[in-house]
A and B are shown apart, each in its own frame.
Chain A
């Protein structure tokens, strides 16, 4: 079999391995990684200081490689390549033979040759280990300097700022991000960053770094202009250099300023050796972004197989958030092309800068710079990439416009080859193909093509295309819930709320047709409960509820029910545990511990339910709402009270959260958890809303779930105090209850919100819609009118009438038959039941 050795396990090296394993090429793959850990997401490195753990950034694991049949070695650098014998040798002396060798060695941070750059603590910003050093050195210190005002430097400044240090950026050039921005854009970026408290020093050539013998800080930097700056730490993030030493040593052709030269197939001057990613030089350029690296990896894989993909360079346009500031750069940002003309718009009141570079004839977009507002980026990028003719007045593309006359680039205008999602290389053609294949909603298209699941920057454009394609196919999106209501759940919610509708009959009369069904009735019942919080078994609501809601228990396959008492936070006294056991014994119930830290009692006959509850209520239990589309459990770890590692009292918080939101009716079930430290034993990141303790408070995660399509929750806000945490959860939950579709869990709901997580943050944290107070009030109303449905039921003899098995006899349902297994009852199988019935007959 073909022996392929991949040197380097960064993002691009890893992508190569994944692509190769997934291809038809039969190969024995060996990976040699210099870092001790397998590939991780380097783009989001600075998030480690805002709540993400290094494990969250992992792109793969050692186990995953074993599953794929890939031999992987980490923490060992390749020391030499023997091209004649086709072997590589590592620093530890291991030797590997190859048929094809792939160099994905990446790059290393450039450290300017300044005297004193080796003093402690002068660091670099490139790997997770680097972050660890930066964090260690920042402890109990005040000031941090980042050398480098480019893209990486500002990313690094964000990390240093997140550590709580007074942050300085020192740049040799006259402006920030000189590669991507023109002078005007650069100046605006500086204004905005300085307003955030980061001090910017440009045109500063550092001459020497010295230990600070007197003064509070550890180091002092002396600049060529005579100035100086005191600091506790210096992090160099002034650009990268290709890691090409291995290639040089074995005689491969490298560029004058570094980089291993490659052709369209990413082949080096030795046709058995490939180079991909930041170590490769193509057409005289290094491509220091991840997307072009992935394209190179794909081209190199295809060389071993059907040779269908070639690398033809890549667009280096980029859109990102640096220190919270939106920055976008497209094409020729500096207007270098001869005859090009520029349009500039600047608004210093709101700190927005936009510039267009247009061809001499005014027809094509050559480049653009956006600072402070990137909302036009997607549209401009499509004009640029696809060579679409500009409108007669190109300036309208960046001028502020009144609602309604926004110059929209119709999705129909884009060619099929237009790349919509550059993270996952999804073209408009791919999206259309997915829709031809049956995907018929934004969420379907996302899950089918992976479009907009990377950085999410293309979300708005993707939605336009999906909507446009739907319209083009003459497909009206059928939003009707069922034949009785031509509305979505959200619309029904508004109709009920605005019209103060209190019963299903009233709703049907005013807005529906027919008599209703098992789809619209429970939906309306849930909304009525969310809004008015009536007891759901009021006579007027009884007919609306699914059997589980109706009998306040979960129907099982044989028509019996399971009962789940609430055990908030999973905390339970021995006495209560004993009661659960006694009740289970008395009514012959099967007992099982649930994943949500509760006890489920199975096999209750409908006529026994009231008596079972009475005993449970007597012992202090309440309903656990396991039957409802409602808040289920708030799982917790034991927290700082007992655990050696806990930093907050997670049990107390879980109890508070569960008691606050218990009974809240929602579009789908809601689960939550609270962990007492970052070890995350409560698995809060798999919940609709999860809370993880930090030294300074709580981190809030939202929109995760387990089940059929597991999804990790997204980090929503960090280091919150108790009050703010609850405020955000109130708003988040009520916004979900107000706007989600029927049976739509929080993750899918968020995916369908245009703008996704960022939009949700704006609504909940920044109150961009001005509804936060209303959402909180709505929640307070629900919390204030909570009642235990079991208790209300057992106290009302009228309600208990429904729990008779037969209205005209005291008999039991003889078709319900149990057999014993492992010391507990279980429903008889069909065969067992027939045998038993035959015997008794």
Chain B
């Protein structure tokens, strides 16, 4: 399951363990008051994705609780509030190119989810 092709970056934070993740779904972590939505897609490469949890359209911290899938080949999460799609790799909103959320670099190393700062 481990995904170690990336070398360890010098500045990383451990967010949680693999067992905290839910396959094909999301959870939320917090770093310095910032909410990060973490998605675990076991059959994709890479297997973990992280974007901001704040839905800029629905204006609430909910993206981790959306349904993940793909639209035109792009991995996305659909906001549970008004169903806009956000790209899991870039944070872009597919419905409105003026809107995006932060995208974070995460890796799965030795069953730990690491966030690169």
Contact = CB atoms under 8 A, between A and B. Distances in A.
Interface in B9-68: 15-16, 20, 22-25, 27-31, 33, 35, 38, 41, 44, 54, 58-62, 65-68
B22 A559 contact: no
Given A543-B25, A813-B35, A815-B54, A515 B69 contact: yes
A543 B24 contact: yes
A517 B71 contact: yes
Given A483-B71, A557-B60, A830-B59, A517 B78 contact: yes
Contacts of A544: 67
B78 A555 contact: no
Interface residues of A, number: 39
Contacts of A539: 22-23
Contact of A806 (B28, B54, B58, B67): B28
The main secondary structure of chain A at its interface with chain B is: loop
Nearest to A606: B65
A394 interface: no
A518 B78 contact: yes
Interface stretch (A248-256, A463-471, A546-554, A580-588): A546-554
A806 B60 contact: no
A516 interface: yes
B103 interface: no
Contacts of A555: 62, 65, 80-81
Contacts of B44: 515
Contacts, number: 103
Contacts of A518: 66-67, 69, 78, 83
Contact of A546 (B15, B29, B80): B80
Given A808-B16, A811-B30, A559 B69 contact: no
A517 B67 contact: yes
A496 B20 CA distance: 31
A523 to B, nearest CB: 11
B75 interface: yes
Contacts of B23: 539, 542-543
A811 B53 CA distance: 15
B101 to A, nearest CB: 14
B20 to A, nearest CB: 5
B70 interface: yes
Q: Which size class do B's interface residues fall under?
A: 35 or more
B22 A543 contact: yes
B72 interface: yes
Contacts of B72: 483
Which of A521, A539, A606, A806 counts the most chain B CB atoms within 10 A?
A806
Chain B interface, DSSP helix/strand/loop, else mixed: strand
A557 B81 contact: yes
Nearest to A515: B70
A60 interface: no
Contact of A515 (B29, B59, B75): B75
Contacts of A811: 30
B15 to A, nearest CB: 6
A547 B25 CA distance: 10
Contacts of A542: 22-25
A813 B61 CA distance: 8
Given A555-B62, A559-B60, A807-B38, A517 B70 contact: yes
A808 B69 contact: no
Nearest to A814: B33
Interface string B69-89: 111110110101101000000
Contacts of B80: 546-548, 555
A517 B61 CA distance: 20
B41 to A, nearest CB: 8
A647 B60 CA distance: 51
Contacts of B38: 807
A802 B65 CA distance: 10
Contacts of A548: 80
A805 interface: yes
Contacts of B62: 547, 555, 559
A558 interface: yes
Given A802-B22, A811-B30, A521 B60 contact: no
Given A518-B69, A542-B25, A808 B60 contact: no
Contact of B69 (A516, A551, A558, A801): A516
A156 B82 CA distance: 55
A550 B65 contact: yes
Nearest to B82: A557
A808 B15 contact: yes
A515 B49 CA distance: 15
Contact of A522 (B16, B20, B67, B81): B67
Nearest to A559: B60
A337 to B, nearest CB: 64
Interface string A499-543: 000000000000000111110111000000000000000010011
B108 to A, nearest CB: 14
A602 B38 CA distance: 27
A810 to B, nearest CB: 10
A539 to B, nearest CB: 7
Contacts of A516: 69-70
A573 interface: no
Nearest to B67: A518
Contacts of B41: 515
A807 B16 contact: yes
A804 B29 CA distance: 10
B60 A558 contact: yes
B26 to A, nearest CB: 9
Given A543-B23, A557-B58, A806-B28, A521 B69 contact: yes
Contacts of A806: 28-30, 35
B81 A521 contact: no
Contacts of B83: 518
A36 interface: no
Interface in A563-617: 606
B1 to A, nearest CB: 15
A92 interface: no
Question: Which 7 pairs, one residue from A and one from B, show the smallest C-beta to C-beta distance?
Answer: A543-B24, A517-B69, A559-B60, A518-B78, A547-B80, A518-B67, A515-B70
29 contacts: A483-B72, A514-B70, A517-B70, A518-B67, A520-B69, A521-B67, A542-B24, A542-B25, A543-B68, A547-B66, A547-B80, A548-B80, A550-B25, A551-B65, A555-B62, A555-B65, A557-B60, A558-B60, A606-B65, A802-B27, A806-B29, A806-B35, A807-B16, A807-B27, A807-B28, A808-B30, A811-B30, A813-B61, A830-B59
Given A544-B67, A545-B67, A802-B27, 12 more contacts: A516-B70, A542-B25, A547-B80, A551-B65, A555-B65, A559-B62, A806-B29, A811-B30, A813-B35, A815-B60, A816-B60, A816-B61
